[in-house]
């Protein structure tokens, strides 16, 4: 019997094998000299005296503790620095610790860090002697009341803190811990940018013995530069490329830049990766490397069963990228979390686009806004090199702003200030200051809209596209629905900024959710003004069963829907408002004319024919029937322009069945698929998608 990835992590923990043994920063590689500190640590908290397995949060089963609402814990373990590291500087690195960490070695204070999602490090050269055992102690404070600290989807006390859409907290050491040997003077940070498309801009900040006037070399095969650091230990320059090769989803080419300081045996060396790509807005279009980009995205919260926010192993991170691609998505919105660098590196390697965003607090105060802003430099320093990140997000749905940007100048100013801070840190990517609605200063107008009635959805999506309306209803809690607007101020421009939906999805069962995915997505594709969408969501999380996949990343019953067809570059848009899941049209079916459009986001025009045929109910939707096929004439399809409708004559049918619709190109290859289910239509006998009530797993406005 094969084990799930989560079960494998549990087995590793129980057998004493080191969990997450891989080098944790493939994007900033120092794996020549490093030592993992993952594995068993001594742990004390309240009445607990036990072992704990790092890097799993103390709430998780994989940690061996599985206790929620501990507010303080102390980790201890012995470490021995390899003797061959003598003469080098030694750095102790933490992927993330929630929320405040105080680090000591042999009782001496090394440093402290506040912020539950940021990576951080301490130079511990003066505290460790190569070949001699020392005790590392990490004291962690993790407040149960998280309202004023950044915590994202972690549950908090009191339980009114978005409890319905929050999950088991992730406290303590929840990302890898390791030691590195570096040069006596070393590159503390390396920032790479390739948005010029002709070269790689390199910025290095030094630490160690002699940071001023140090010689820094940056090279790739065939090109190099030599820089001298200034009095502050900083050096910058550009590696010009004679034959630049751009990074894109179709060709995710990466450059490995070796940065070295010094020439002798104690020289420092790190290999950082980046790609040449430019993401920008031009009017109402998103543009990647000069070509229009349409975002076909999925929201991913990055939780795993039994390990919480920590992936059970590196393969789980890589597999999630592959699964998102198999579902047809070209972008993942990583929700309210700095994701593991291994996941981001895999996105770079495979060409998956990323919308990255930090965690939010949940209640507004000066301290909460400052805590939110404090994490932005660390976010950009750690993740800014990744070419896959094409959008930075900030606040989500006014979380931490009390759902009150329009009514509060202070809250609106906090959102705008966060935008300005992030823009000063990185001017190479579009920024969304408050995802969902009420925009005051943003490079994108994104919106979150959940609507169970498809006729209402269809009309609202059309009206929002034309500008006829700016508002839409958002259910913020039981019995609490308000109209939210695209705009949080009268001065925000109503045109000239790209618009995209960044959360949608409906349905109580997996069949209903797949049905809504089909029909809601086609309505978004009907309107060429939109720059894309982000479906909610990739996988289930605890009680929130809104995922296309289960919590263990297994597929669900999609009722014949193939997500990759729904999210394809080329899709069919049908002129029909369906009745309900499993019965798009009612039986018996009289012959009727079905209008079919094509939405195509490739780079060249297509000439297509549209075909249709009845098959038995429940038949696979990715086959071409052998008989009974009806066909239209040729249809010319232009990129990013919804085609005119062609009329497909749907034959009559007495009983239940499935009408397949597909389009072929000039070679006869199938390039797009859709289908209609015919069945008896009855009035709903329970709360469902036709009664206007919300039936999803997470309330709109709370994903």
Helix axes 5-15, 314-326, angle to 10 degrees: 180
> What tens digit of pLDDT does each residue of 669-690 get?
999 999 999 999 875 543 333 2
Q: Phi/psi of residue 239, each to 5°?
A: -90, 110
> What tens digit of pLDDT does each residue of 51-85 get?
999 999 999 999 999 999 999 999 999 999 999 99
Residue 684, pLDDT score: 53
> What tens digit of pLDDT does each residue of 378-428 get?
999 999 999 999 999 999 999 999 999 999 999 999 999 999 999 999 999
Residue 476, pLDDT score: 83
pLDDT at 7 over 90: no
> What tens digit of pLDDT does each residue of 133-158 get?
999 999 999 999 999 999 999 999 99
Rg (CA), the chain: 27
445-448 and 353-356 strand pairing: unpaired
Residue 339, pLDDT score: 98
> What tens digit of pLDDT does each residue of 642-668 get?
999 999 999 999 999 999 999 999 999
Q: Which is more confident, 15 or 455?
A: 455
Q: For residue 341, give both structure tokens.
A: 């660098």
Helical H segments across 580-619, by residue range: none
User: Among candidates 62, 395, 46, which has minimal Cα distance to 54?
Assistant: 62
Are the beta carbons of 229 and 311 closer than 8 angstroms? no
| Token pair 């309306």 in the structure block, residue | 469
Helix (H) or strand (E) run with residue 287 in it: strand 285-288
Q: For residue 28, give both structure tokens.
A: 């900033």
Residue 449, pLDDT score: 97
- C-alpha span between 695 and 450 (Å, rounded): 10
Q: For residue 212, give both structure tokens.
A: 């001023």
Query: Beta-carbon neighbour count of residue 481 at 10 Å?
Result: 15
Work out the pLDDT band at 635, boundaries 50, 70, 90.
Answer: very high
Quick one: CA dihedral 463, 464, 470, 475, positive or negative?
positive
Alpha-carbon distances of 591 from 157, 576, 630, 654, 672, rounded to whole Å: 59, 14, 12, 11, 23
Residues 6+ apart with CB under 8 A from 310: 55, 56, 57, 60, 62, 170, 174, 175, 304
Alpha-carbon distances of 279 from 197, 387, 447, 503, rounded to whole Å: 11, 9, 20, 21
Mean pLDDT, to the nearest integer, of 450-472? Answer: 97
Helix (H) or strand (E) run with residue 370 in it: helix 366-374
pLDDT at 298 over 80: yes
Mean pLDDT, to the nearest integer, of 317-337? Answer: 98
Q: Is the peptide bond before 35 cis (omega within 30 degrees of 0)?
A: no
Residue 28, pLDDT score: 98
Q: What is the pTM of this model?
A: 0.94
Are the beta carbons of 328 and 117 closer than 8 angstroms? no
Three-state secondary structure along 299-321?
Answer: EECCCECCCECCCCCHHHHHHHH
The chain-wide mean pLDDT, for the chain, equals: 94
- C-alpha span between 610 and 485 (Å, rounded): 38
Q: Is the peptide bond before 158 cis (omega within 30 degrees of 0)?
A: yes
Q: For residue 188, give both structure tokens.
A: 């503390």
Percent of the chain with pLDDT over 70: 95
pLDDT at 10 over 80: no
Residue 691, pLDDT score: 29
pLDDT at 45 over 50: yes
- C-alpha span between 57 and 24 (Å, rounded): 17
What dihedral do alpha carbons 574, 579, 584, 585 form, nearest 10°? Answer: -100
Residue 1, pLDDT score: 31
Work out the pLDDT band at 16, boundaries 50, 70, 90.
Answer: low
Residue 492, pLDDT score: 97
Q: Is the peptide bond before 443 cis (omega within 30 degrees of 0)?
A: no
User: Among candidates 381, 330, 339, which has minimal Cα distance to 358?
Assistant: 339
């Amino acid at each position: 019997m094969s084990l799930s990835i989560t079960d494998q992590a549990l087995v590793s923990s129980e057998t004493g094998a080191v969990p997450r043994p891989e080098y944790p920063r493939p994007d900033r590689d120092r794996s020549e000299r490093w030592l993992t500190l993952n594995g068993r640590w001594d742990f004390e908290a309240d009445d607990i005296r036990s072992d704990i397995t790092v890097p799993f949060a103390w709430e998780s089963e994989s940690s061996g503790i599985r206790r929620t609402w501990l507010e303080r814990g102390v980790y201890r373990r012995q470490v021995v620095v390899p003797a061959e590291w003598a003469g080098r500087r030694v750095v102790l690195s933490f992927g993330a610790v929630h929320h405040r960490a105080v680090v000591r070695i042999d009782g001496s204070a090394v440093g402290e860090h506040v912020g539950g999602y940021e990576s951080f490090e301490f130079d511990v050269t003066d505290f460790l002697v190569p070949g001699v055992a020392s005790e590392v102690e990490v004291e962690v404070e993790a407040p149960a009341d998280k309202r004023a600290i950044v915590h994202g989807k972690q549950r908090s006390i009191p339980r009114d803190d978005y409890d319905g859409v929050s999950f088991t907290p992730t406290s303590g050491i929840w990302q890898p811990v390791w030691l590195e040997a570096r040069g006596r003077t070393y590159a503390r940070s390396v920032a790479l940018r390739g948005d010029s498309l002709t070269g790689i801009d390199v910025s290095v900040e030094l630490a160690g013995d002699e940071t001023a006037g140090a010689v820094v070399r940056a090279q790739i095969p065939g090109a190099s530069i030599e820089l001298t650091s200034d009095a502050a230990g900083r050096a910058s320059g550009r590696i010009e490329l004679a034959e630049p090769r751009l990074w894109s989803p179709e060709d995710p080419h990466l450059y490995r830049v070796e940065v070295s300081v010094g020439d002798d045996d104690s020289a420092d060396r790190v290999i950082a990766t980046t790609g040449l790509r430019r993401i920008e807005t031009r009017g109402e279009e998103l543009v990647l490397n000069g070509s229009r980009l349409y975002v076909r995205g999925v929201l991913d919260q990055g939780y795993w069963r039994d390990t919480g926010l920590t992936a059970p192993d590196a393969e789980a991170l890589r597999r999630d990228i592959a699964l998102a691609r198999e579902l047809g998505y070209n972008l993942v919105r990583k929700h309210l979390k700095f994701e593991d660098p291994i996941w981001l590196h895999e996105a770079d390697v495979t060409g998956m686009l990323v919308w990255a965003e930090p965690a939010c607090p949940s209640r507004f105060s000066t301290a909460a806004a400052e805590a939110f802003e404090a994490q932005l430099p660390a976010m950009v320093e750690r993740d800014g090199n990744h070419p896959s990140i094409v959008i930075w997000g900030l606040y989500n749905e006014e979380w931490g702003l009390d759902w009150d940007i329009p009514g509060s100048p202070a809250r609106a100013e906090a959102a705008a200030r966060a935008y300005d801070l992030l823009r000063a840190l990185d001017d190479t990517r579009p920024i969304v200051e408050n995802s969902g609605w009420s925009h005051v200063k943003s490079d994108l107008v994104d919106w979150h809209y959940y609507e169970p009635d498809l006729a209402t959805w269809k009309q609202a999506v059309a009206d929002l596209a034309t500008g006829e309306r700016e508002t839409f209803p958002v259910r913020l809690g039981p019995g609490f629905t308000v109209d939210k607007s695209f705009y949080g101020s009268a001065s925000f421009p109503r045109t000239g900024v790209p618009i995209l939906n960044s959360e949608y999805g409906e349905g109580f069962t997996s069949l209903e959710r797949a049905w809504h995915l089909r029909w809601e997505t086609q309505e978004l594709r009907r309107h060429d003004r939109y720059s894309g969408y982000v479906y909610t969501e990739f996988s289930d999380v605890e009680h929130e069963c809104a995922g296309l996949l289960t919590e263990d990343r297994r597929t669900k019953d999609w009722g014949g829907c193939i997500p990759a067809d729904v999210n394809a570059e080329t899709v069919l848009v049908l002129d029909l408002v369906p009745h309900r899941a499993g019965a798009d049209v009612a039986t018996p079916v009289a012959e009727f004319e079905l209008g079919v459009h094509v939405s195509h986001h490739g780079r060249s025009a297509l000439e297509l024919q549209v075909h249709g045929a009845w098959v038995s109910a429940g038949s696979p939707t990715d086959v071409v029937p052998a008989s009974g096929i009806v066909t239209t004439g040729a249809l010319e399809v232009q990129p990013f322009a919804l085609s005119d409708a062609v009329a497909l004559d749907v034959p009559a049918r007495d009983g239940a069945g499935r009408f397949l619709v597909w389009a072929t190109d000039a070679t006869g290859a199938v390039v797009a698929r859709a289908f209609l289910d015919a069945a008896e239509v009855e009035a709903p006998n329970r709360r469902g998608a036709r009664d206007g009530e919300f039936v999803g797993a997470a309330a709109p406005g709370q994903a």
